[in-house]
């Protein structure tokens, strides 16, 4: 029998209790032809070095938790075939995030940005129960469906050059989420979100590098959402100069 193929996996390591800055550690391991990058990390964790810390859950590119830098690019490690990479593979935590430990990053700031765009349906007045559910046509659903496919994997933030230089920028995923609700026929909160979008560090900070859409594993196209949100925020502002809020 032939010897199993081996690859060198170079992993960024960081223990906040011992390290001042991140360092790298190399592992040479036998690999299987059908492995994903995540399989290599799990093998190292289970068989070689139990101190390694990394996030993962569903293994189906749905939960978004296993995002990392693979050879310098933000990827979902459960989706990336290890065979697509060379004999040496470098794995690091997502760029533009504080590191908690090894490949695990801090999500608190990311989630705060999500909350800032009010990602829920806003109604001026709640419908009475006897009125029944709000109906929506397939065409109305199609208006926002693409922007609702985000799995919060944070790859777009890791790829975004604006996030890298302006940490206060709310970022592509949060803007796409806010825009998703602005285009939902059941929602009446667009004016509130557009006011947020006209604020500092939001849609007009985007330089349209398009990196966010390039790395999105679910084809949400957050760059398109940002551009549409820019246009709608300007139109909303212009209409507000002509008509008071409420159209009266």
Residue 223 pLDDT: 97
Judge whether 6-105 and 108-242 match in fold: no
The CATH superfamily of 6-105 is Beta-grasp domain (3.10.20.30)
Q: Classify residue 140 by burial, with Cβ atoms within 10 Å: 0-12, 13-18, 19+.
A: middle
Residue 245 pLDDT: 60
Topology, domain 108-242: Fumarate Reductase Iron-sulfur Protein; Chain B, domain 2 (1.10.1060)
The Cα 246–Cα 32 span in angstroms is 62
26: CB partners within 8 A, 6+ apart: 8, 9, 10, 11
Residue 243 pLDDT: 73
Query: Is 29 within 8 Å of 44 (Cβ atoms)?
Result: yes
Taking the CA atoms of the chain, what radius of gyration do you get in angstroms? Answer: 22
Nearest residue to 99 via CA among 107, 90, 89: 107
Determine phi and psi for 140, rounding to 5 degrees: -70, -40
Cα 163 to chain centroid distance, Å, stands at 12
Residue 248 pLDDT: 46
pTM of the entire predicted model:
0.91
- Where in the chain are the domains? 6-105, 108-242
Query: Is 33 within 8 Å of 83 (Cβ atoms)?
Result: yes
Give pLDDT tens digits along the chain (248 positions): 567 799 999 999 999 999 999 999 999 999 999 999 999 999 999 999 999 999 999 999 999 999 999 999 999 999 999 999 999 999 999 999 999 999 999 999 999 999 999 999 999 888 888 888 889 999 999 999 999 999 999 999 999 999 999 999 999 999 999 999 999 999 999 999 999 999 999 999 999 899 999 999 999 999 999 999 999 999 999 988 887 665 54
Query: In the block, which residue shows the tokens 């829920």?
Result: 120
């Amino acid at each position: 029998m032939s010897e199993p193929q081996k690859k060198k996996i170079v992993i960024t390591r960081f223990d906040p209790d011992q390290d001042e800055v991140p360092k790298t550690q190399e592992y040479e391991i036998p690999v299987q032809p059908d492995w994903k990058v995540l399989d290599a990390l799990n093998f190292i964790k289970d068989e070689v070095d139990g101190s390694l810390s990394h996030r993962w859950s569903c293994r189906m590119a749905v939960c978004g938790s296993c995002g990392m830098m693979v050879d310098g690019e933000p990827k979902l490690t459960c989706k990336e075939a290890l065979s697509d990479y060379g004999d040496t593979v470098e794995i690091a935590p997502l760029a533009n995030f504080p590191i908690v430990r090894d490949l695990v990053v801090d999500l608190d700031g990311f989630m705060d940005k999500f909350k800032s765009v009010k990602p829920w349906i806003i109604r001026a007045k709640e419908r009475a129960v006897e009125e029944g559910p709000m109906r929506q046509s397939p065409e109305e659903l199609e208006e926002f469906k693409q922007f609702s496919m985000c799995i919060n994997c944070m790859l777009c933030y890791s790829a975004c050059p604006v996030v890298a230089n302006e940490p206060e920028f709310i970022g592509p995923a949060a803007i796409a989420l806010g825009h998703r609700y602005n285009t939902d026929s059941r929602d009446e909160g667009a004016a509130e979100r557009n006011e947020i979008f006209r604020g500092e560090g939001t849609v007009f900070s985007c330089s349209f590098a398009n990196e966010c859409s390039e790395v999105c594993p679910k084809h949400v196209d957050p760059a398109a959402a940002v551009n549409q949100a820019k246009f709608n925020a300007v139109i909303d502002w212009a209409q507000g100069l002509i008509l008071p809020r409420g159209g009266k």
